[in-house]
Structure 1
Amino acid sequence: MKRLVVLGGGESGVGTAILGKKEGYQVFVSDKGEIQPKYKEVLEHFEIEWESGKHSGDRVFQADVVMKSPGIPDRVPLVKQLKEKGIPVISEMEFASQFSEATVIGITGSNGKTTTTMLTHHLLKNGRLNVGLAGNIGDSYAKMVAEKDFDLYALEISSFQLDGIQQFKPHIAILTNITPDHLDRYDNQFEKYVASKFRITMNQTENDFFIYDADDPVIAEGLKKFPIQSKLVPFSIKQKLETGAWIEDNKIIIEIEHKTLEMSTDILALEGQHNLKNTMAASLAALLVNVRKETIRQSIQTFQGVPHRLEKVLKINHVEYINDSKATNVNATYYALDGIKKPIVWIVGGVDKGNDYSELMPLVREKVKAIICLGMDNTRIKDAFGNVIELMVETYSMQEAVKVAYKIAERGDSVLLSPSCASFDLFENYEDRGNQFKEEIKRL
C-alpha cells in the first residue's frame, strides 16, 4: 500500500487526504500549526491519521509521496530533507489531476485570477455544462475529484501550487498578468516568480490553448523565453489582433477557432479596464468549450463580481465605503485607485511582501487626501508616502481605522480599504479583514 503524507491540515490538505484514502493510499496528515476543529472532524470521519502542532520526522520520511499545502515554503528544512531523500513533494493540483478525466481550465496570474475563475465558472454553468469551481478559491480540487468528479473544472491556481506540479496539464491555461508579488517566497527574484507562473503551460501540447494578456510586457518577454507548445490565444485592450480578443468601436471582438463573437463593452456588469480583460479571458475559454454566444452575452450582464474585490459596502453622509480587502499586492491596489473618480481616504497596510509602492505615487498624489495605516509595522508605507500626503494616521485595529476614516471623510469622498499587503498580522485572512471592515461600517 502506497504511503501518502499530507503536510498542512487546511482545505487543500484535508481534500487531498480524502482523495488519497479513496484511492487506496495509507494517509497521514501532519500540521506544524493547530488544525481547525472542522477539519479534525472530517479527518476523524474518514478515519485518517493526523498530528497537529508538530511534524514527526519518522512518520513523514516513510512517505512514498508528499503533498505540500501551498502555504508551506520550499525553503522549510523538512521540505528540503524530503527532496534530498528523493521523496516526491507535489501540490494538490498534481495529486488530484491523476484521478480525474475532466477538462481543466487553469487560471493563474498576479491579479484578476479569482474574478476570471469565477466568471469562467459562471459562463460554463449558465451554458449547462457540468463544471466545478475549485483550487485557490472555495473548495479543494482534490475533495471535488473524490466526492463528485465534474466534466470540467475552472481552477484558480497560485504560483505556489504550480511550483509543485510535474505532469499536471490544463487543456486551457489562462495567465491574466504578472506583476511583482510573493517575492519573499522567491528569494526576492522576480524572474523566479515569472518562471513559476509559466509552469502552467509546461505540459501543454499543440491540442491545448494558452490565453494571455498581450499588453503585459512581462508575459511578452516570457513568451520568448519559455517553450510553449499550445495554441497561443492573446487578448488586448490596446491593439487589434488577428486572433483572440480585442476592442474595436466600444465592442469586444473575439475570434477563435473559426468562431466570432461581438459584444458591446456597455453590457459588462463589472467596471474598470482590468475587468474588460478578465471578461475577455473568460469569454475566450467559454467559446473554446462551446458555450453558446448568446449565453456568454447574457451571463456577462448578470455576473456580480467577487466579494472583497472593489465591493461597494454603504454610502453614509454622501461618503462611499469600498471594500477591496482582496487587494493583497500593489498592482491590485493600482486598479482600485485608478478606477475611483472621487477624493480617496485610503486604508492600507498589513504584512508587506517586499512591495514597491513607487508605481502608486502618481495616483496617490492625484487622488488620495489621507492615508490610514492599518498594520503592526507601517514603516514602509510611511517612508513611501510620508512626504506626499499631509494627513497620515496609524491604526492597529479595524474598528479604529474605520472610526478615523469616518471622521476624516467629507461629502463626496470615497473611503477605500485596499491594503496592498497580506492580512496575517491582524486578521485570519483577507476575508476576515473585509468582513470586519463591513461590520464596523454598519456600526457607524
Structure 2
Amino acid sequence: MKRLGILGGGESGVGTAILGKQKGYDVFVSDKGKIKEKYIKVLEHFEIDWEEGQHTEANILNADVVMKSPGIPDKVSLVKKLVEAGIPVVSEIEFASKYTDAIIIGITGSNGKTTTTMLADHILRQGGYDVGMAGNIGDSYAKMVAENDFRYYVLEISSFQLDGIVDFRPHIAILTNITPDHLDRYEYKFENYIASKFRIAMNQNENDFFIYDADDKVITKWLKNNPIKSTLIPFSIEKELGTGAYLKNDKIQLTIQNNTITMQTDTLALEGKHNLKNTMAASAAAKLVGIRKETIRQCIENFQGAPHRLEKVLKIHHAQYINDSKATNVNATYYALDSMSTPTVWIVGGVDKGNDYKVLMPLVREKVKAIICLGEDNSKIKDAFGNVVDLLVETYAMTEAVKVAYKIAERGDTVLLSPACASFDLFENYEDRGNQFKEAIKNL
C-alpha cells in the first residue's frame, strides 16, 4: 500500500487526506499547530491517522509522496529532508488533478484572481455547465474530486500551490497580473515570483489557451523571453487587439476564433478599471468553453462580487463604509483607492510583506483626507504618509479604528478598509478582519 504524508491539517490537507484514503493510500496527516475541531471530526470519521503540535519525522519520511499545505515554505528543514530523500512533495492541485478528467480553468495572478474565479464560475453555472469552484477559494479541490464528478473546474491557484505542481495542466490558464508580492518566500527576487506564476502554463500545449493582461509589462516581457506553447488570448484596456478582449467606445470587444461579442461596460456589476480586466478574462474563458454570448452578457451584469473585496457595507450619516479587507498587498489597495470618487478615510495596516507605499502617493494626495493605522507596528505607514495627510491616527483594534473613522467621516465621505497588509498581527485572517469591520460598523 502506498503511503501519503500530509503536512498541514487545514482545508487542503484534510481534503487531500479524504481523496488519498479513497484512492487506497495509507494516509498520515501532521500539523505543527492545532487542527480545528471540525477537521479532526472529518479525519476521525474517515479513520485517518493524524497528529497535531508536532511533525513526527519518522512517520513522514517513510511516505511515497507528501502533500504540503501552501502555507509551509520550501525552506523548512522537514521539506528539505523529504526532497533530499527523493520523496515527491506536491501541492493539493497536483495530487487531485491526477484523479479527474475534468476540463480545468486555472486562474492565478497577484490580484483579481478571486473575483475572476467567482465570475467565471458564475457564468459557467448560469450556462448550465456542471462545474466545481475550488483551489485557493471555498472547498478543497481534492475533496471535490473525491465526492463529485464535475465536468469542469474553475480553480483559483496561488503561486505557492503552483510551486508544488509537476504534471498539472489546465486547458485554460488565466494570469490576471503580476506585481511584487510574497517576496519573502522567493528570496526577495521578483523574477523567482514571476517564474512561479508562469508555472501555470508550463505543461500546456498548442491545444490549450493562455489568457493574460497585455497591459502588464512584467507579463509581456516574460512572454517575449520565455515563449509558451499554448494559444495566447490577451486582454487590454489600453490598445485594440485582433484576438482577445479590448475596449472600444466604452464597450468590451471580445474576439475569439473569429467570433466577436460586444458588451456594454456601463451596466457591469463590478466597478473600477481592474474589474473591467477581471470581466474580460472570465468572459474569454467562458467563450472558449462554448458559453452563449447572451449568457455571458447577462452574467457580467448580475454578478455579486467577492466578499471582503470592495464590499459596500452600510451608509451611516451619508458616509459610505466599504470593506476591502482582502486587499493584502499594495497593488490591491491601489485599485481600491483608484476607484474612490469621494473624500476617503482610509484604514490601513497589518503585517507588512516588504511593502513599498510610494506607488500609492499620488492617490493618497488626491483622495485621502485621513489615515487610520490598524496594526501592531505602523511606523512604515507613518513615515510614508505622515506629512501627506492632515490627520493620521494610530489604533490597535478594529472597534477603535471604526469609532475613530465614524468621528472623522462627514456627509459624502467614504470610509475604506483596505489594509495593503496581511492580517495575522491582530486577526485570524482577512475574512476575520473584514467580519470584525462589518460587526463594528453595525454596533456604532
Taking structure 1 as the reference length, the TM-score comes to: 0.99
Is 1:21 aligned with 2:17? no
Partner in structure 2 of residue 198 of structure 1 = 198
Are the aligned partners of 1:345 and 1:409 in contact in 2 as well (CA < 8 Å)? yes
CA offsets 1:171-230 (integer angstroms, 9 cap, x no match)? 000000001111111111111110000000000000000000000000011102223000
Partner in structure 1 of residue 74 of structure 2 = 74
The two structures, once aligned, show a CA RMSD in angstroms of: 0.7
Aligned residue runs from structure 1 range 422-433, under 5 A? 422-433=422-433
Secondary structure of 1:166's counterpart equals coil
Identity over the aligned pairs, expressed in percent? 74
Secondary structure of 1:63's counterpart equals coil
Secondary structure of 1:206's counterpart equals coil
Are the aligned partners of 1:100 and 1:145 in contact in 2 as well (CA < 8 Å)? yes
Counterpart code for 1:275: N
- Residues in 1 aligned to 2:318 and 2:263: alpha-carbon distance in whole angstroms: 34
Counterpart code for 1:392: L
Partner in structure 1 of residue 169 of structure 2 = 169
Are the aligned partners of 1:12 and 1:69 in contact in 2 as well (CA < 8 Å)? yes
Partner in structure 2 of residue 412 of structure 1 = 412
Secondary structure of 2:242's counterpart equals coil
Partner in structure 1 of residue 246 of structure 2 = 246
Aligned residue runs from structure 1 range 370-385, under 5 A? 370-385=370-385
- Residues in 2 aligned to 1:58 and 1:390: alpha-carbon distance in whole angstroms: 59
- Residues in 1 aligned to 2:149 and 2:114: alpha-carbon distance in whole angstroms: 21
Aligned-pair distance for 1:244? 0.4
Counterpart code for 1:122: H
Partner in structure 2 of residue 104 of structure 1 = 104
Partner in structure 1 of residue 55 of structure 2 = 55
Moved over 6 A (4+): none
Secondary structure of 1:312's counterpart equals strand
Aligned-pair distance for 1:149? 2.3
Partner in structure 1 of residue 323 of structure 2 = 323
Is 1:294 aligned with 2:294? yes
Aligned-pair distance for 1:130? 0.2
Count residues in correspondence.
Answer: 444
- Residues in 1 aligned to 2:296 and 2:49: alpha-carbon distance in whole angstroms: 45
Taking structure 2 as the reference length, the TM-score comes to: 0.99
Counterpart code for 1:62: N
Aligned-pair distance for 1:406? 0.7
Aligned-pair distance for 1:390? 2.7
Is 1:135 aligned with 2:135? yes
- Residues in 2 aligned to 1:376 and 1:233: alpha-carbon distance in whole angstroms: 43
- Residues in 1 aligned to 2:423 and 2:159: alpha-carbon distance in whole angstroms: 19
Are the aligned partners of 1:198 and 1:226 in contact in 2 as well (CA < 8 Å)? no
Instruction: Return 380-389 or 149-158, whichever deviates more.
Output: 380-389
Partner in structure 2 of residue 233 of structure 1 = 233
- Residues in 1 aligned to 2:30 and 2:225: alpha-carbon distance in whole angstroms: 38
- Residues in 1 aligned to 2:65 and 2:171: alpha-carbon distance in whole angstroms: 25
Secondary structure of 2:399's counterpart equals helix
Partner in structure 2 of residue 283 of structure 1 = 283
Are the aligned partners of 1:105 and 1:174 in contact in 2 as well (CA < 8 Å)? yes
Partner in structure 1 of residue 308 of structure 2 = 308
Counterpart code for 1:34: K
Instruction: Return 263-272 or 125-134, whichever deviates more.
Output: 263-272
Secondary structure of 1:266's counterpart equals coil
- Residues in 2 aligned to 1:132 and 1:225: alpha-carbon distance in whole angstroms: 35
Partner in structure 1 of residue 333 of structure 2 = 333
Secondary structure of 1:74's counterpart equals coil
Counterpart code for 2:220: A
Partner in structure 1 of residue 367 of structure 2 = 367
